[in-house]
A and B are shown apart, each in its own frame.
Chain A
Amino acid sequence: MRRYSAFAIARQAFRHHEGWERAWRSPEPKARYDVVIVGAGGHGLATAYYLGKNHGIRNVAVIEKGWLGGGNTGRNTTIIRSNYLQDPSAAIYEKARSLYETLSQDLNYNVMFSPRGVMMLAQTEHEIRGYQRTAHANALQGVATEFISPRRVKELCPIINLDGPRYPVLGALWQPRGGTARHDAVAWGYARACSDIGMDIIQQTEVTGVQREGGQVVGIDTTRGPIACGKLGIVVAGHSGVMAERAGFRLPIESVALQALVSEPIKPVMDVVVMANTVHGYMSQSDKGEMVIGGGADGYNNYTQRGSFHHVEETVRALIETFPIISRLKMLRWWGGIVDMTGDRSPIISKTPVEGVFVNCGWGTGGFKAIPGSGWAMAELMAKGHSPLADAFSLDRFREGRFIDESVAAGVAH
Chain B
Amino acid sequence: MLTFRCPYCGIDACETELAPGGEAHLKRFGPGSADADFEAYLFLRHNAKGVHFERWRHAMGCGKWFLAARCTATLEVFGTYPAQTPEPPQDIVAAIRAKRPDWSLS
B20: A residues at CB distance < 8 A = 299-300
The distance in angstroms between the C-alpha atoms of A343 and B49, with both chains bound, is 19
Measured CA separation A248–B29 after assembly (Å): 22
Q: Does A253 contact B (CB under 8 A)?
A: yes
* Interface flags, B13-55, vs A, CB<8A=1, else 0: 0011001101100000000000110011011111111001010
Contact with B along A299-313 (1 / 0, CB 8 A): 111111010111000
Q: Which of B23, B73, B75 has most chain A Cβ within 10 Å?
A: B75
| Chain A residue contacts of B45, Cβ below 8 A | 241, 250-254
A255 beta carbon closer than 8 Å to chain B:
yes
Given contacts A308-B1, A310-B15, A310-B16, A251 and B47 within 8 Å (CB-CB): yes
Contacts of A309 in B (CB 8 A): 1
Q: How many residues of A contact B (CB 8 A)?
A: 22
Q: Tell me if B62 is interfacial: C-beta within 8 Å of chain A.
A: no
Q: Check B47 against A253 for contact (C-beta < 8 Å).
A: yes
Q: Residues of B within 8 Å of A, CB-based: how many?
A: 26
Whether A301 pairs with B19 at a CB distance below 8 angstroms is no
Q: A301 — which chain B residues lie within 8 A by C-beta? A: 23, 47-48, 52, 54, 72
> With A239-B49, A302-B75, A304-B73 as given contacts, are A343 and B43 in contact (CB-CB < 8 Å)?
yes
Task: Assess whether A398 is interfacial by the CB under 8 Å rule.
Answer: yes
In the complex, A354 has a CB within 8 A of chain B: no
Give chain A's interface secondary structure class. Answer: mixed
List, in ascending order, chain A residues with CB within 8 A of B19's CB. Answer: 299
The answer to whether the Cβ of A399 comes within 8 Å of any Cβ in the partner chain is yes
In the bound complex, residues from chain A placing their C-beta under 8 Å from that of B74 are 304
Question: With the chains together, A239 CA to B72 CA distance in Å?
Answer: 12
Given contacts A250-B44, A254-B22, A302-B72, contact A242 B36 (CB under 8 A): no
Asked if B2 is at the interface of the complex by the 8 Å CB criterion, the answer is yes
**Residue contact A242 to B49, C-beta cutoff 8 Å:** yes
The residue that B35 contacts in the complex, of A241, A299, A399, with Cβ under 8 A, is A399
| Distance to closest chain B CB from A349 (angstroms) | 17
Closest to A241 in B: B47
**B2 contacts which chain A residues (CB < 8 A)?**
300, 308
A residues in contact with B52, CB < 8 Å: 301
**Would you call A252 and B75 a contact (CB within 8 A)?**
no
* Closest A residue by C-beta to B50: A303
Taking the nearest CB of chain B, how far is it from the CB of A102, in angstroms? 37
Q: Which residues of A contact B1 (CB under 8 A)?
A: 308-310
Contact assessment for B44 and A303 in the assembled complex, using a CB-CB cutoff below 8 Å: no
Closest to A344 in B: B43
A299–B43 alpha-carbon span in the complex (Å):
16
Point out the residues of chain B lying under 8 angstroms from A255, CB to CB: 47, 49, 72
Chain B residues proximal to chain A, CB less than 8 Å: 1-2, 15-16, 19-20, 22-23, 35-36, 39-40, 42-49, 52, 54, 72-75
Which residues from chain A sit less than 8 Å from chain B, CB to CB?
239, 241-242, 250-255, 299-304, 306, 308-310, 343, 398-399
18 example contacts (A-B, Cβ-Cβ < 8 A) are as follows A241-B45, A241-B47, A241-B48, A241-B49, A242-B49, A250-B40, A251-B44, A251-B47, A252-B44, A253-B47, A255-B72, A299-B20, A302-B75, A306-B75, A308-B15, A310-B1, A399-B35, A399-B36
